[in-house]
A and B are shown apart, each in its own frame.
Chain A
Amino acid sequence: MTSRLGRGQRSTPALFIAPFFVLFLATLVAPVCYALWMSLFREQATSGLGFEAPETLFVGVDNYLRALEDTAFRDGFLHVALYCLIYIPVMVGGALALALLVDSTMASAKRLFQLAYFLPHAVPGLIAAIIWGFLYTPGLSPVVDFLNTFGVEWDFLGADTVIFSMANAAAWQWMGYNTVIFYAALQAVPRETLEAATVDGAGQLRTALAVKLPMIRSSVVLTMLFTAVGAIQLFNEPEVLRAQSSAISQNWSPVMYIYQAAFTKHDYGLAAAASLMLALLGAALSFVITKLGNRWKEA
């Protein structure tokens, strides 16, 4: 192999890969290393009132311990876990149902529906969250007015209910996107298998649940992985709805906590430590879900 490639030819691939590694190092590896470094230090006042410039002290793992001891940080994870419990089943279940419906032999205008389902994803997340915020606001929202005419009083922004409103906004945005992924996977299911199922007497529903669903499970697993990892970075929906609802604190989710630690408290050590722990959790979660997914695929 070496003998057949000239020197110039051999360096060509390296040249093509280089841009990736440059950006990878500069925008991911270097910041992570810097965060690791920052997480070991802490600014401390040098006098009782602190009118002299503060000094930066090496504190070891103290920042990590401080984050873990902070109930606000831990509550953030509970909030996200609760959010996932509501959001993931609704979003993935809904996307699967829509994909199977579009894929069923009885469906018509398939292209139209595919496009219609995907459309919400074309709206930027922040904008969507703002619009949903208005739709949840009594006095402004036609939805609330409509519910009121039937005597239904639902406080979308209340302390116990705002998490559903958040999950709803996110599900609206992502359901169609995942429908398209599932639909593409369904296209790859061999037609002979489906014909065989029909010949064996399976109806539409039976075919969908017993044949199609198991055959696209790898994309379902992949979607769950992306969704779960995405959910631990929850920021847009709660940050935007915070302007409308007093039920959401400024450090409601872990990312919001990190944001406030860095930009309100100027506690960069704490922010860096919390970020790294969040990243670690994300990595661990990806690992576990992939492992579980593989086992399920092999089973």
Chain B
Amino acid sequence: MQSTSRTSAPALAAAVAALALLATACGGADSGSADAATGSAGKPVDITYWSWMPGTKDMAAAFNKTHPDIKVTFAEIPAGLNGGYDKISKAVKAGNAPDVVNLEYQAVPDLVTQGLLRDSSGELAESVKGYAPASVQALVTLGGKTWAAPYDVGPQTLYYRTDLFKRYGIEVPTTWTEFRTAAEKVRTASRGQARLLDFWGDDTATWAGLSQQAGAQWYGSTGDAWKVSITDPATKKVADYWKDLVRNDLVLNHKAWSPEATKTVTDSRAIALIGASWSAGSIKTTYPAQAGKWAEAPLPHWGTPATGAVGGSAFAITKDSKKAKAAAEFIRWATTDEAAVKARLAAGTSSGLPAAEKLRAAAKSTFDASYFGGQDIYAVAGAQVPNIAEGWSWSPVHNSTTMTLQAEFGKAQKTGEFWAAFQAGQAAAEKAITDRGLKLAK
């Protein structure tokens, strides 16, 4: 027995050594040197950039071609909530984070309060003020500091089938009252075969946009505390409106992005969609057989033209980047230079609307709008940007609140009792804020 334990000593040592080797292999690889804040053509500054968004790799390559003093190394990461943000968080903690990252607007407060982003007021504030609409600036400004530079903006719009609107004898509704009348007409005229819309009643993003349009402000801050107002009167108005439409069978209500929802549109059983500027690209690829039959229009409103914003992303510098100056130069180029937009959208499948108005012509030139019967969809969406309701901001707990909202929306799919979901969402958001040690304003 004794001999066994003695002989295993070298084996154990080998095991420990192997473990140590494994550990060193996993760690290490600290990127870049601390010096070289400004580069030159001979010795460019190396910065790293992480993104998952289509076309960003080509954009980085285009930057490198024209900027000999800065070299951007691109790495693709998983999409935001699918692991991308987590990867950024781990990298910042491990001290090997990239200098520049992309992130969605609703993730900005979340990443800021995790201490992952750099207060870039000095590097980016001026540039952002120069090109971004106020409603979009608000999404990247927290506590008076600029944390990211907006790239695109997604005003909510209505997409509709021109052929079927004609067949069922309806005009494009401009208000929600007209929308309800049109919904009744479609059901009657199609003998119950079609509905005006497949409402994605479990999609928090759609709800947020519709609520914003009605004047809601789900999150905000007063003094040094976060405020949650998901159950404000404006949201109630929106919830009641859609409850009426769902319960009276005037719209369909399938799960957002589900194959069932796609099939409904393919079969012409839903003849309009609530989307955003960027939806044009996905409609074109999802329903190729309906080419020439779609058009975009402003979202119906509550009396005065207004809309919400859905989606959109920004560029940010990470907390401990030692090359913030070079990083900021890259970001300014990526958000305000036509060459950046052209390179990024070269694939021609994206209908993303740049936040900077002067880039929209370049973006438009990459997108073949013949699918939309040659309609100038960039003009339609662009005209809606000034109508985006101001005062909307996200909060650090929106992602976890979405979980609760979505689960509760699911329960209301048939009943239309959406209001209960918002009440649950309010409670979940408040709990999440105190859970993280943040202050909640009552």
Check A17/B11 contact, CB under 8 A, given A47-B224, A48-B223.
yes
**Which residues of chain A come closer than 8 Å to B91, judged between CB atoms?**
none
User: What residue in chain A is nearest B119 (Cβ atoms)?
Assistant: A51
> From residue B311, how far is it (CB to closest CB) to chain A in Å?
18
> From residue A129, how far is it (CB to closest CB) to chain B in Å?
13
Please state if B409 and A246 are interface contacts (CB–CB under 8 Å): yes
- Tell me the bound Cα distance from A43 to B113 in angstroms: 11
Interface string of B73-99 (1 = CB under 8 A from A): 000000001010110010000000000
Please state if B409 and A11 are interface contacts (CB–CB under 8 Å): no
Please state if B263 and A139 are interface contacts (CB–CB under 8 Å): yes
Please state if B11 and A138 are interface contacts (CB–CB under 8 Å): no
B167 is an interface residue with CB less than 8 A from chain A: no
Stretch of A82-90, A197-205, A259-267, A282-290 that contacts chain B: A259-267
Please state if A247 and B410 are interface contacts (CB–CB under 8 Å): yes
Secondary structure of the B contact surface, majority rule: helix
**Which residues of chain B come closer than 8 Å to A266, judged between CB atoms?**
86, 89, 110, 114
> From residue B24, how far is it (CB to closest CB) to chain A in Å?
13
- Tell me the bound Cα distance from A52 to B406 in angstroms: 30
B298 is an interface residue with CB less than 8 A from chain A: no
Secondary structure of the A contact surface, majority rule: loop
Please state if A49 and B18 are interface contacts (CB–CB under 8 Å): no
Chain B, range 398-435, C-beta contacts under 8 Å to A: 399-400, 403, 406-407, 409-411, 413, 432, 435
Check A18/B15 contact, CB under 8 A, given A47-B224, A49-B226, A263-B86.
yes
Task: Choose among A18, A46, A140, A249 the residue that contacts B260 (Cβ–Cβ < 8 A).
Answer: A140
**Which residues of chain B come closer than 8 Å to A245, judged between CB atoms?**
255, 258, 410
Interface string of B9-31 (1 = CB under 8 A from A): 01100110011001000000000
- Tell me the bound Cα distance from A10 to B85 in angstroms: 51
> From residue B17, how far is it (CB to closest CB) to chain A in Å?
9
B374 is an interface residue with CB less than 8 A from chain A: no
**Which residues of chain B come closer than 8 Å to A15, judged between CB atoms?**
11, 14
B7 is an interface residue with CB less than 8 A from chain A: yes
> From residue B34, how far is it (CB to closest CB) to chain A in Å?
20
Interface residues on chain A, size class: 35 or more
**Which residues of chain B come closer than 8 Å to A22, judged between CB atoms?**
14-15, 18-19
Please state if B436 and A50 are interface contacts (CB–CB under 8 Å): yes
Please state if B257 and A243 are interface contacts (CB–CB under 8 Å): yes
- Tell me the bound Cα distance from A10 to B10 in angstroms: 11
Please state if B403 and A50 are interface contacts (CB–CB under 8 Å): no
**Which residues of chain B come closer than 8 Å to A53, judged between CB atoms?**
114-115, 319
B8 is an interface residue with CB less than 8 A from chain A: yes
Chain A, range 258-276, C-beta contacts under 8 Å to B: 260, 262-267
A238 is an interface residue with CB less than 8 A from chain B: no
Check A49/B437 contact, CB under 8 A, given A22-B19, A134-B259, A246-B255.
no
User: What residue in chain A is nearest B115 (Cβ atoms)?
Assistant: A53
**Which residues of chain B come closer than 8 Å to A54, judged between CB atoms?**
113-115, 436-437
Interface string of B35-67 (1 = CB under 8 A from A): 000000000000000000000000000000000
User: What residue in chain B is nearest A45 (Cβ atoms)?
Assistant: B437
Chain B, range 180-230, C-beta contacts under 8 Å to A: 202, 221, 223-226
> From residue B299, how far is it (CB to closest CB) to chain A in Å?
23
Interface string of A113-140 (1 = CB under 8 A from B): 0000000000000000000011001111
A21 is an interface residue with CB less than 8 A from chain B: yes
> From residue B103, how far is it (CB to closest CB) to chain A in Å?
14
**Which residues of chain A come closer than 8 Å to B260, judged between CB atoms?**
137-140, 157, 244
B250 is an interface residue with CB less than 8 A from chain A: no
> From residue B294, how far is it (CB to closest CB) to chain A in Å?
20
Please state if B438 and A45 are interface contacts (CB–CB under 8 Å): yes
**Which residues of chain A come closer than 8 Å to B319, judged between CB atoms?**
53
A25 is an interface residue with CB less than 8 A from chain B: yes
Check A48/B438 contact, CB under 8 A, given A11-B7, A249-B407.
yes
User: What residue in chain A is nearest B440 (Cβ atoms)?
Assistant: A48
Please state if A25 and B257 are interface contacts (CB–CB under 8 Å): no
Please state if B89 and A250 are interface contacts (CB–CB under 8 Å): no
Please state if A25 and B86 are interface contacts (CB–CB under 8 Å): no
> From residue B35, how far is it (CB to closest CB) to chain A in Å?
25
User: What residue in chain A is nearest B221 (Cβ atoms)?
Assistant: A49
A294 is an interface residue with CB less than 8 A from chain B: no
A207 is an interface residue with CB less than 8 A from chain B: no
Check A244/B145 contact, CB under 8 A, given A49-B221, A139-B267.
no
Of A15, A22, A52, which is in contact with the most chain B CB atoms at under 10 Å from its CB?
A22
Please state if B18 and A264 are interface contacts (CB–CB under 8 Å): no
**Which residues of chain A come closer than 8 Å to B264, judged between CB atoms?**
139
B360 is an interface residue with CB less than 8 A from chain A: no
B142 is an interface residue with CB less than 8 A from chain A: yes
Task: Choose among B145, B225, B409 the residue that contacts A51 (Cβ–Cβ < 8 A).
Answer: B145
Residues of B bordering A, CB below 8 Å: 3-4, 7-8, 10-11, 14-15, 18-19, 22, 81, 83, 85-86, 89, 110, 112-115, 119, 142-143, 145, 202, 221, 223-226, 255, 257-260, 263-264, 267, 319, 396, 399-400, 403, 406-407, 409-411, 413, 432, 435-439
A-B contact pairs, 26 of them (CB 8 A): A14-B8, A15-B11, A17-B11, A22-B18, A43-B436, A45-B436, A48-B438, A49-B113, A49-B142, A49-B225, A49-B439, A50-B113, A50-B437, A51-B143, A53-B115, A54-B113, A54-B436, A66-B435, A134-B259, A139-B264, A157-B260, A245-B410, A264-B81, A264-B399, A265-B399, A266-B114
Residues of A bordering B, CB below 8 Å: 2, 5, 7, 10-11, 14-15, 17-18, 21-22, 25-26, 30, 43-54, 66, 133-134, 137-140, 157, 159, 243-251, 260, 262-267
5 tightest A-B CB contacts, nearest first: A53-B115, A246-B410, A249-B407, A48-B224, A44-B437
